[in-house]
Every structure is written in structure tokens, then in C-alpha cells.
Chain A
């Protein structure tokens, strides 16, 4: 087995491995600590962010890095790969998870009402989820990916069931059912590839696969399985009750990051592992499903009467945009001048959506805490009592609507450019319709926040500093739009087709 040519720096520190190990260790430590594990939040958040930034700077200075855990080469050993795409996801995950951890300290800390089961379970789940996410982002073979995805499924379902109420348990079970079914189908596809090529290493598979029936079937099976885990239409039905029912910090993690892990694997699959098998029919089909998700999710978001359900259905819609990148980038691994824009646009959308959506769920959680419920009718005029949370929600909304300057706008601009350059004007219509629908369902909510009668029932007080965490997350989705050149350059490092094209 040949070693990848980039693996020539023996002194390289494996930050990617540390980024997985650190949260894993923190999770293990958190188990015996119970609610006192809240003290791990600050050091954990700082360490995680530091490791992610170190990993990213390693990619920026050295290019894509490979690391063989324990020194065993593929296909025997566990191989980790760190390129621009992995590094970008590591950083965003660290920012969002770190903020969620800080936010959760008073919610699930020792002062939150003793050694409750919820607080006991939350901290290990948070750190294990973090470890699972990072493991997905740095895995270089399809089986490790499967293990990491399973970890995410289990922690995710447990977080949904955290408060133990009947309807949340039902939502968690439904989530588990979809996700495990997805796992089975995914594993079937993996088995096809293994039977054919005798390896699951992504890079080896890429050079081994010949375009044809088996590769397409395997890819389609794996994609279908991941769609169930990632809640792409029509396999999305589990998401809204699960994400809306979980406690706010858990919802933030699930909606911002966990669903993205499945998308990340699908993107890896079709762009890195089986590019030659991506037929026109398949890419267009993924695009159509994405388009339906955008319209359908938005229309349902428009009809919800509870804030967290609006935000959850908005996730269904926003995930749809990610799948537009497949038809826009073009089929069958032939790079076009617009492929870079389409691919980067899709990835950018996934990255920008994460902090914005997390900010929304955290703000929604605070409003729910203050008003006692998240029914929209009860939140009329809440901007008066929670001005900063409402402002954070508004900023995050601007990014979701794709309004400038925000990460969401940068993504939309890139996708629009590639649609025009490739002459696929129908996707433009979808994107514009999606943006306007997002405006409709988000302004419907913002309208309630800002208006209403002067006399209102007194609300439970909420400290300003908790609101500032939501604002910081929302602000970072805006900053991502203003400073998008750095992540843009980072994402191009190690991108498989990067060498043969340039953004026109």
C-alpha cells in the first residue's frame, strides 16, 4: 500500500487526533462527576477551540495532513486525515459546542437543583457528541465513519430523551428508529464496496473504483442511509419533534452540528470517494430532494405556533440547500469552472448555518425560560424584556435568510454564481423562493417579538450575560460573511478537484 505523498512530515503534531481524544476524555471524566462536570465547561471549551485552531493552522501552513494512529498503515490501522474541509468543520464545531457548554453551566450545573438525572447525563453526552463529531470530520475510512456516526446517533437520541417526558421519549425513539435503519442501509453500501475492493480507506477506494453499477448502487445505498440520519426530505419526519422537544442546549447541538455530520459524509462520498460514479440523474435527484425540502420545510415552518418548532422546521428547509451543491457542481467528477463555487457554497452554507441555528435555539431557550412556554402568542413583545436575545435571534435570522453581510449570504452568492455559470436557472428560482420563504417565517416570529401592547405579564428574569452567548454565536455567523476569505482559502486546501479549476 502506497503512503499518501503528503505524509512526509514526521514531526507533525497530530492535532486532529487530540481533537477527538480531548472531548472523549472529558466525557469519561464527566461520568463520575455528575452535575459538578459543569466545571469542565470552561476548560473544555477553551481546549477544544485551541485544538481546532491549531489543526486549522496546521492545514493552512502545511497542507492536508495524514496521521496513522499507532503507526499502523491503511488498510489495517486507523488513519486520520485533516484537510481544509475537516479543519473548517472542526473549528465551527468547537465554536458552537464551546458556546453551548458555557451556556449550559447554569442550566445543568451544581446550582441547578441538585444531582438530577438530567444534569448527570447531560455533560457526558455533550462531550461524547463533540468527540463523535470530530471523529467524523477526521476519519479517513468508511468504517471509522460508521462508528463515529453511531456514537452520534446514540448520544443524539439520549439528548432528545433527556427530560424524560413521554412525548420526548417518543420523539427520541422515532429518531433512533430512523437513524438505526439508516445505519443498516449505510452499512450495506459499505459492505458492497468492501466486497468489491477489499478496503474501506477513502483514498484507496477513490483510486480503485471504476464507474459502474456496483459503485453507483453502493453510493446510493450509503446516501439513502445518511439521508435518514441527516433528515433530508422525505426522511425528515423525525427531526422537528426531536429537535423542538430537547432542552435548548441539546437542540442547538443537534440542529447545528449533528445533522451536518451526515451531510459531511455524503459530500465526502460523492466528491472524494466515488466522484466518477456521480451520474447526472443522481445529482439532479439529490438536488430535487433538496429543493422539495426547502419549500416544504419552509411552508411547514410558516404554520407552526411554537417557536422551537419554527426553528426546527427551518433546519429541515436549510438542510435542503446543502443538497443543491450536487447538481450545481456537475456530475461524474468532471470539474467545471463553476464546480469550486458550487462545492464551496454548499459547504459554506453548512458552516454558516451552524452558529446561526445554535444561536436561535439558545435564544429560544431563554425566551421559553422567561415566558414559561415557547408558544408564539406568549412571546409577543418579548424584545422589551430580552432585548439581547431577540437581537441575537434577529441576527441569526438574517444569516438564514441569506441577507448580507452574513455567512448565509456568502453561501447563497456562491451557489447563485454557480447556477448562472452552469446555466441551471431552475435552481436559482428555488434558492430565491427559499430565501423569501425564510424571510416570511422568520419575520413572522420577529414581528411578535417587537410588537404588541405595552402592558404585559411579568416575566421570569434572565441574566444579560446568558443572552450575550446567543448574541456571540449569531455575531459569528455575520463575521463569517465579512471575513469569508479565510475560510474560503482554507476549504480549498486538499479539495480533490481544486487543482484543475479556478473560480471564474
Chain B
């Protein structure tokens, strides 16, 4: 049973993907049923595993591809953190996408690649060694590209081209880094730490930056970020998935694996790699915020905000200490919940009221109150207002910085929060306090399934912040990961 579990979890997305590809365009009901059945089955499996893994049970499946090259799927506490996020948000995004896309063209293709993209994310979460991680990382690139160009117009094609140019080059760099590292040490397992002990430190430093360079593309670290704002031309459900679960998170998750499970925090700091990484993350945080401030298009503003917010994870990982580690892990989930709320809302506003620009938001609190409320919760959470999730992340990162004797981290956080406020508060203000300039009759918040996902994720953003003390909250789980894996 333990060997079967990772395969089962993977197939909850992979099998629907393969089946949906071959459905005819008009078989809408079959498509919906298969999609939702896969998403629900995955969620159920995740719940079962959460309970077991908390008791230190691990699941593992191995397929040997070549001598020394294993496809290894392994469920540990860290993979489950990411897996839970992706399973929960996949279900909501699927519901949202079915409403959002309605009867548009090429839906079998769209939902096929959509499920494949989630399967790739699942594989990234479950990867037990670097090569398995890489395999699914590249599969993610391939399966998201058709989603980015889904509209088929000129801007989509240009964005898709840029997305490929960045991510495929990043993937190639990552592969070189992995093969180089493994040529020195033999196959590296995430579960076995300390395998790099005998390697020349200078080489390890170079390889670290090669790996970070490869992963930094999807993580959208400055200066490798410019594909992300361009890719927001994709349909809203795709942006939601890209920004909250799939692509940027895959990069950030990879950096967590490299720092914690391949090198290990001790080695990262012994090789003095932590401080430059922290500096890079801080630069990205501040730069992303500044660029967000300049955008008048809502989705572009959100995209630059993602550039900034995802680097909180990298910042936490680069600081040596329990609080920073826990903060980084928890933010992986927190950012996903808040950002997907914002994208769900932006998509609903664009779909129902053709609102794309910041100045068009005037008075939408009256027209679409539920959406405006969810949007406001997401925005306030990003700024760091308690008790929403973002506050918890920032608190732990700040405490972690002080613990590690690097109080400048607090300055970065304060600066970033001020900038967050500067680019998010005007949106909230316009929504609630500026009267609408045009017809704003209420009753536009239909259909239910377009609006409800944002409300659910908004509630979740508040809940994971307010109930952060519980064992199965993202923060509680991150603490468990730290205690089980990194404090021994």
C-alpha cells in the first residue's frame, strides 16, 4: 500500500489529463465529471496521507530508469505541504475554470493540459531526488505553454514565446547543475542529507548558483522575472494556477529542496551562500513591489506583486534559524491562498464587468460585494494585516532575521509592506469608497461557481492566519516539518 500511494496520487491528475485529451469537444459533461472526480479523489488521498505522515510514516515508489537514475516518488512532510496546497487549489480552480471558460473553443485541449500541469506539480511535490524533480519540472513547462497561448492571439503567442525562452533555458541550466553535482557525488536523495561532505567547497559554491540560476527563472527572481508579467495575458484560471500553485511555486519549492535537503542549511551557511541569496531575494522583493506600483493594469500589478511575494519564501530559506525556516515553508501556502483569491477576483471582474484597469474599480464594492470583499481580504493579507495569513509569514520571517542576527531583514519586510500597502490600498479604497462612475446595478455576481472559489480561498486565508496555532494549519505543519526534518 505504501508503494502504491504516490502512484495513486499522481494518477488522480494524470489519468484525467490523458482521458480528457481524447474527449470530443462537445462532451462537456464527461469532461467536468472526470475533472472533478480526479480533484476530489486527490483531496481525499491527501487527507489520508496528512494523518499518516504526521505520525512519521513515509510513502515511496521507485522506478529505475538507468543504473544510477531512479524515478523516485516519495511522500514526506515537505512534499505533503505543497501537495495539499495544490490539491485544494486545483479543485477550486477547476470549478472556477469551468464557469469562466463556459462554452469557449478547444476546451478538451485546455482541460487536458490543465490536469497535466497539476500532475506535473504533483510530481514536483513528490520527487524524492533531483532527477525526478527535474523530469516533472520540465513536464510543467511543456504542459503550461499551451495554456498560456490558449487564446491564440498575437499577445498570447508573444507571451508564450517569452515564457518558453526563459523556462527552457532555465531548465537546461538546471539539468547541467544536477548532472554536474551528481557526477561528483552519485545519485542524491532528498531524504539522505550530508552527501556533499567530501566535495570541494569552491565547486559546490559554483554548482549552487548554477542550480539557483536554473530554478530562479520559474521563481521569477530578478533579473529572470520578466516572463511572468508577460504571461498574465493567459486566461484568469491559468494565471491563478501559475501564480499560486504551479510554476512560480515549483521554482520556489525547488529552491527549498536545494537549500534544505540537498545542501542543508548548515552547509549553505558554511559556504557563505546564505547572505548573497538573501540579498537576491530582498532585491526581488523590493524591485517587484516598485514595479507593481507603476502598473495600471490589475493583472499586471498582481503579477509584479507575485514576483515580490514569492521571494519571501527564498528570503526565509536563506536565513539560518528555526523561525525563518518555518516562515518560508508556511508562506509557500499562505501566498498561494491569498494570490489565488486576488486572481479569481480579477478574473471575475474582467469577465462580468470588463474591468481591467485600476481606475475602473470605482464602486465595485456596491456592484459585486462578495468579490470586492474577497479581493480586499487578499490585498490586506498581502500587506500583512493581522489576522490574515500574510501577517503570520512576515512575523516569522522578521523574528527569524533577528534570531539569526540579521535585523536588516526586518527593514526589508517593513519597506516591502509599505510598498504593498501603496499598491494595494488604492484598489481597496476605490472599490469601497469611491462612487461608481458608471452604471453599477448590483446582481452581476453570477454564476455562483465563478464567485464562490474566491470566497472560499479568502476565508481560508483568514482561517490559516487566525488558527495558525493548530497542528494542521500551514504554520503548524511547517513547524512539524522543521521539528521532524531539520532540527535533528
Contact = CB atoms under 8 A, between A and B. Distances in A.
Chain B binds chain A: yes
Interface of A: 381, 383-384, 387-388, 391, 398, 403-405, 409-410, 413-414, 416-417, 420-421, 428, 432, 435-436, 439, 443, 447, 450-454, 481-482, 484-485, 488, 503-504
Interface in B152-179: 152-153, 156-157, 160-161, 164, 168-169, 171-172, 175-176, 179
Given A404-B139, A428-B176, A436-B169, A481 B65 contact: yes
A391 B142 CA distance: 12
B176 A410 contact: no
Nearest to B186: A504
B437 interface: no
Given A404-B139, A485-B66, A436 B172 contact: yes
Given A384-B106, A387-B108, A417-B179, 14 more contacts: A387-B109, A404-B135, A409-B135, A410-B66, A413-B131, A416-B175, A420-B180, A432-B175, A435-B172, A436-B168, A451-B157, A482-B63, A484-B65, A485-B66
B276 interface: no
B142 A403 contact: yes
A302 to B, nearest CB: 13
A481 B65 CA distance: 7
Nearest to B183: A420
Which range holds the interface residue count of chain B? 35 or more
B164 A439 contact: yes
B176 A503 contact: no
B198 interface: no
A255 B108 CA distance: 33
Contacts of B134: 404
Which 7 A-B residue pairings sit nearest by Cβ, starting from the closest?
A: A451-B152, A404-B135, A420-B183, A432-B172, A416-B179, A403-B138, A439-B168
A430 to B, nearest CB: 12
A428 B160 CA distance: 27
A481 B22 CA distance: 23
B67 A488 contact: yes
B442 interface: no
Among A387, A428, A452, A503, residue most surrounded by chain B Cβ atoms (within 10 Å): A387
Contacts of A435: 172
B180 to A, nearest CB: 6
Nearest to B164: A443
A349 to B, nearest CB: 14
Nearest to B139: A404
20 contacts: A381-B152, A403-B142, A404-B135, A405-B135, A410-B65, A410-B66, A413-B131, A416-B175, A416-B176, A420-B179, A432-B176, A436-B169, A443-B164, A447-B149, A451-B153, A484-B65, A485-B65, A485-B66, A503-B68, A504-B68
A488 B180 CA distance: 22
Chain A contact surface mostly: helix
Given A413-B179, A452-B152, A484-B65, A404 B138 contact: yes
B69 interface: yes
Given A416-B175, A420-B179, A420-B180, A503 B139 contact: no
Chain B contact surface mostly: helix
Interface string B378-409: 00000000000000000000000000000000
A413 to B, nearest CB: 7
A503 B67 contact: yes
Contacts of A481: 65
Contact of B146 (A439, A450, A485, A503): A450
Among B67, B157, B171, B182, residue most surrounded by chain A Cβ atoms (within 10 Å): B67
B209 interface: no
Interface of B: 21-22, 63-69, 71, 105-106, 108-109, 131, 134-135, 138-139, 141-142, 145-146, 149, 152-153, 156-157, 160-161, 164, 168-169, 171-172, 175-176, 179-180, 182-183, 186
Contact of B160 (A420, A447, A452): A447
Contacts of A503: 66-68
Nearest to B180: A420
Contacts of B69: 410, 413
A450 to B, nearest CB: 6
Contacts of A454: 105
Contacts of A447: 149, 157, 160-161
A83 B186 CA distance: 30
Contacts of A405: 65, 71, 135, 139
Among B66, B156, B157, residue most surrounded by chain A Cβ atoms (within 10 Å): B66
B10 to A, nearest CB: 13
Contacts of B65: 405, 410, 481-482, 484-485
A332 B204 CA distance: 33
Contacts of B157: 447, 451
Given A447-B157, A503-B67, A417 B106 contact: no
B169 A417 contact: no
Contacts of B21: 387, 391
A62 to B, nearest CB: 22
A443 B163 CA distance: 12
Nearest to A405: B135
A410 B135 CA distance: 11
A454 B22 CA distance: 21
A139 B152 CA distance: 52
A482 B71 CA distance: 9
Contacts of B108: 387
Contacts of A436: 168-169, 172
Contacts of A443: 145, 161, 164
Contacts of A485: 64-67
Among B65, B180, B182, residue most surrounded by chain A Cβ atoms (within 10 Å): B65
Contacts of B179: 413, 416-417, 420
Contacts of B67: 485, 488, 503
A454 B105 CA distance: 8
A71 B175 CA distance: 52
Nearest to B136: A404
Nearest to A435: B172
B152 A484 contact: no
Among B157, B175, B176, residue most surrounded by chain A Cβ atoms (within 10 Å): B175
Contacts of B66: 410, 413-414, 484-485, 488, 503
Nearest to A384: B106
B353 to A, nearest CB: 24
Contacts of B68: 503-504
Contacts of B186: 504
Contacts of A450: 146, 149, 152
B57 to A, nearest CB: 27
Contacts of A414: 66
Contacts of A416: 175-176, 179
Contacts of B142: 398, 403
A410 B65 CA distance: 8
A417 B183 contact: yes
A384 B65 CA distance: 35
A414 to B, nearest CB: 7
Contacts of A453: 152
Contacts of A421: 183
Contacts of A409: 135
A362 B87 CA distance: 38
B121 to A, nearest CB: 16
